[in-house]
Amino acid sequence: MCYMILSIFFPILAGIFLLVRKEMKVRKHLLFLTGSFLVLEGILVILAISLAKGELLLLFNLTDRLPILFKIDEVSIIFSALAIVIFLCAGFFSFEYMKHEEKEKRYYGYYLIVLGVLVALCFAGNLITFYLFFELLTLSSMPLVLHNRSREAIMAGLKYLFYSLAGAYMALFGLYFIEKYGNTLTFSAGGVISAQTAEDHMVLLLGIAFVMLLGFGVKAGMFPMHAWLTAAHPAAPAPASAVLSAVIVKAGVLAIVRVVYYIFGASFLRGSWVQKVWLILTLITIFMGSMLAYREPVLKKRLAYSTISQVSYILFGLAVMDGDSVTGGFLHVLSHGFIKAALFLCAGAMIYMTGRTKVKELRGIGKEMPILLWCYTIVSLGLIGIPPTGGFISKWYLALGSLNSGISGFGLAGPIVLLVSALLTAGYLLPVTIHGFLPGEEFDGNTLERKEPSLFMLIPIIVLTVLTVAIGLFPNGIISYLSQIITKII
């Protein structure tokens, strides 16, 4: 139990410690402290997962009916493991990248606080605990968006705040009704609403479910509440963009998993108008995000539009509510997390080393940084869905689940939209590779020098690239683990 508490509150307290501490005269001391805190947090999460899985931890009671409690289950492990890996990689990457940014101590302080809040979110055992930390996630991550204090960053941060709060209040509206009509607020596989209550209040509960899907879908960048994402991600420092895109948007996915499969139950929503409208919104988001990314000239903003599209791949799999599609959705949580973190870190390294921000300015970049561009290329192939990467396996299961679902119209529409999106993904990612390695005869490459990023930047990117391929080559262990979840919730 103590490891569960420590894994949640240690990084929060460590972050507060950095924020209140006086500026350190030697930068290495700050980096050593931050690196030590991140590694220790990774160890604490591993110990918590190993020793406290399945146990309920009551922290305190807000009221007699609103306990703040934590429980580690299979879903908690997937999302917390992703968070730790990404935060470690992006954290060590930032040790070099943040040299050219001011207020590093403040950045690392909030970075650690966000990690603790995310772990609490993953370990939340009921809806009220989840909601409290969901709100804290918005408030604690907003300073990462605002970090450079430019007008663009401030406006992006405000947009992120307003959208997130609007979505959270929609979710809070639904929480009132769950407290009234549900047997409990504690997450339970299959749902907490009795069959009789569901039958008696069908229309009302379906409406509440849809409102909560829209509300939590804001954080996941689902249409029509997606616009904050393309403002916040480009404005933040690259390592912050990596965790925003790879992990923080997954808080919205985790919320939807909890609401659909652990509060309402898949059997209640399957075949309803809510499922069909949700499917339509996810397919619109997939296509729209890919098309806007294809047309975007700024690399980081292009990747932000890509996140809108790719996260809705996950939501589509969850909305189909078929065993294979849900498996594909969870696989894509991991695959997309590793891939998108690597892509944002690659973009950050390119910007850091060259100062270039637009795709057309990266012509010949492969002559300067071949290792970096190869990593970018491999994870790009993963996002497109090319074997042997994790992206191929996850999208295979998504398409298979859609075809097997028997949902009229969507069984075929899903794979078609996924395929079109994959082609668009190739169209907006691979030109960087093609023109980077093959800039053309008219390009004067004689003035270029090979200048790979430092190991602090390169090693995290290589680790994420290896993980992207490893999921594609050895997926059976993960799929077997996911089957434990699927059998409980489908």
pLDDT value at 406 more than 90 = no
pLDDT computed for residue 357 by the predictor:
80
Distance CA 204, CA 177 (A): 9
Distance CA 381, CA 284 (A): 23
Distance CA 85, CA 167 (A): 27
Distance CA 64, CA 344 (A): 45
pLDDT value at 1 more than 70 = no
Distance CA 207, CA 81 (A): 33
Confidence of residue 24 (pLDDT cuts 50, 70, 90): confident
Task: For residue 2, count other CB atoms closer than 10 A to its CB.
Answer: 12
Block residue for tokens 């430019």:
150
Bond prior to 224 in cis (omega within 30° of 0): yes
- Contacts of 351-360 with CB under 8 Å at 24 or more apart are 351/238, 351/299, 351/300, 352/96, 352/97, 352/100, 352/238, 352/453, 352/457, 353/451, 353/453, 357/298, 357/299, 357/300, 358/297, 358/298, 358/299, 359/297, 359/298, 359/299, 359/302, 359/431, 359/432, 360/297
Read off the pLDDT of residues 329-345 as tens digits, 9 standing for 90 and up.
999 999 999 999 999 99
Tokens coding 263: 């509060």
pLDDT computed for residue 235 by the predictor:
80
365: three-class secondary structure by DSSP: helix
Distance CA 273, CA 285 (A): 18
The least confident of 21-35, 290-304, 386-400 is 21-35
Confidence of residue 486 (pLDDT cuts 50, 70, 90): very high
**Residues paired with residue 298 on neighbouring β-strands, in sequence order:** 358
The average pLDDT across 293-297 equals: 91
Percent of the chain with pLDDT over 90: 61
Q: What is the pTM of this model?
A: 0.94
The average pLDDT across 421-432 equals: 93
| Backbone Cα Rg of the chain | 22
> Mean pLDDT score of the chain, rounded to an integer?
90
Closest to 20 measured CA to CA, from 89, 96, 105: 105
pLDDT computed for residue 272 by the predictor:
92
439: three-class secondary structure by DSSP: coil
**Residues paired with residue 60 on neighbouring β-strands, in sequence order:** 68
pLDDT value at 227 more than 70 = yes
DSSP tag of 99: G
pLDDT value at 408 more than 90 = no
Tokens coding 376: 């970018």
Distance of CA 479 to the CA centre of its chain: 20
Task: For residue 183, count other CB atoms closer than 10 A to its CB.
Answer: 12
| 21 φψ region: left (φ > 0), alpha (ψ -120 to 50), beta (else) | beta
pLDDT value at 54 more than 90 = no
pLDDT value at 10 more than 90 = yes
Would you say 68 and 58 are in contact if contact means Cβ atoms under 8 Å apart?
yes
Percent of the chain with pLDDT over 70: 98
- The residue that leads in pLDDT, 282 or 24, is 282
pLDDT value at 360 more than 70 = yes
DSSP per position, 70-83: EEB-HHHHHHHHHH
Q: Side chain identity at 383, as an amino acid letter?
A: L
pLDDT computed for residue 74 by the predictor:
93
The least confident of 115-129, 255-269, 347-361 is 347-361
The average pLDDT across 29-33 equals: 89
pLDDT computed for residue 445 by the predictor:
58
Instruction: Report the alpha-carbon angle 409-217-475, nearest 5.
Output: 70
DSSP per position, 366-414: HHH-HHHHHHHHHHHHHHHT-TTSHHHHHHHHHHHHHHHH--TTHHHHH
pLDDT value at 21 more than 90 = no
Question: Can you say whether the dihedral through the CA atoms of 413, 325, 169, 144 is positive or negative?
Answer: negative
pLDDT value at 410 more than 90 = no
Residue-range domain boundaries for the chain: 1-262, 270-490
pLDDT value at 443 more than 80 = no
Read off the pLDDT of residues 71-101 as tens digits, 9 standing for 90 and up.
999 999 999 999 999 999 999 999 998 888 7
The average pLDDT across 178-196 equals: 89
Block residue for tokens 């979505």:
167
The average pLDDT across 190-194 equals: 88
pLDDT computed for residue 447 by the predictor:
60
The average pLDDT across 273-295 equals: 94
pLDDT computed for residue 448 by the predictor:
64
Would you say 374 and 333 are in contact if contact means Cβ atoms under 8 Å apart?
no
**Residues paired with residue 67 on neighbouring β-strands, in sequence order:** 61
19-48 per-residue burial string, b: 16 or more CB within 10 A, e: under 16:
eeeeeeeeeeebbebbeebbeebbebbeeb
Task: For residue 430, count other CB atoms closer than 10 A to its CB.
Answer: 16
Distance CA 363, CA 350 (A): 12
Q: Which alpha helices (H) appear in 182-218, and where do they start and end?
A: 195-200, 202-217
Maximum average pLDDT range among 10-24, 95-109, 112-126, 359-373 = 112-126
